[in-house]
C-alpha cells in the first residue's frame, strides 16, 4: 500500500512490502525511525493488520501501552515482516502474496495467520486490477 503523505524518498532502493499484526489486546504505535528523510508512525488497534512499504534495512519499533504512556516493547527488522510473492495460486492462476508467518513473532494464532494471508491476497488482486487500467 503506497503511503501518500509520507512516501519513501525517491533515492531509497530495495523497498519491500511488509505486514504487521497487532495480536495483543492493547493499542500499539508502530514507528520506523532509522530511515533518513522519512517519518513513519501508525497507530495499530488490537487485531488490526498494517501493510506498508519500507526499505529492507528499516527497523520497526513497537510501542505498547495505555492512552497516556507507552513503552518500547519490541524492535523488529522489516525484512522479517516481508510479504513474499508466490508464483501462482493453484486455484485461479493468479499471483498472490504470502506472509512469512514463521518470522512474524506477533501473529499468535492460526486465525490471525489466515486473516493475514487473506488480506495479502486481497491486496494482490487490487494491485492486479489497477495495473490493468
The secondary element (H helix, E strand) that includes residue 132 is: helix 110-132
pLDDT of residue 105: 47
pLDDT of residue 119: 66
pLDDT of residue 117: 64
67-104 b/e with 16+ CB inside 10 Å = b? Answer: eeeeeeeeebebbebbbeeeeeeeeeeeebbbbbbeeb
Q: What is the pTM of this model?
A: 0.61
pLDDT band at 106; cut points 50, 70, 90: very low
* 55-100 residue pLDDT tens: 999 999 999 987 677 889 999 999 999 987 655 555 555 545 555 5
Cell 492493547 maps to which residue?
26
Residue 20 has pLDDT above 60, yes or no: yes
Contact between 28 and 64 (Cβ < 8 Å) = yes
pLDDT of residue 101: 47
**% of the chain residues with pLDDT over 70:** 56
Amino acid at each position: 500500500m503506497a503511503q501518500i503523505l509520507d512516501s519513501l524518498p525517491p533515492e531509497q532502493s530495495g523497498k519491500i512490502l511488509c505486514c504487521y499484526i497487532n495480536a495483543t489486546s492493547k493499542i500499539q504505535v508502530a514507528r520506523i525511525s532509522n530511515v533518513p528523510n522519512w517519518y513513519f508512525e501508525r497507530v495499530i488497534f488490537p487485531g488490526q493488520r498494517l501493510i506498508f512499504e519500507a526499505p529492507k534495512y528499516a527497523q520497526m519499533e513497537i510501542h505498547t501501552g495505555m492512552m497516556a504512556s507507552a513503552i518500547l516493547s519490541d524492535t523488529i527488522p522489516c525484512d522479517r515482516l516481508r510479504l513474499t510473492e508466490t508464483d501462482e495460486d493453484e486455484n485461479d492462476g493468479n499471483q498472490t502474496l504470502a506472509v512469512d508467518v514463521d518470522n512474524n513473532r506477533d501473529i499468535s494464532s492460526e486465525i490471525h495467520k489466515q486473516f493475514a494471508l487473506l488480506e495479502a491476497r486481497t491486496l494482490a488482486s487490487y494491485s492486479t486490477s489497477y495495473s490493468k487500467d
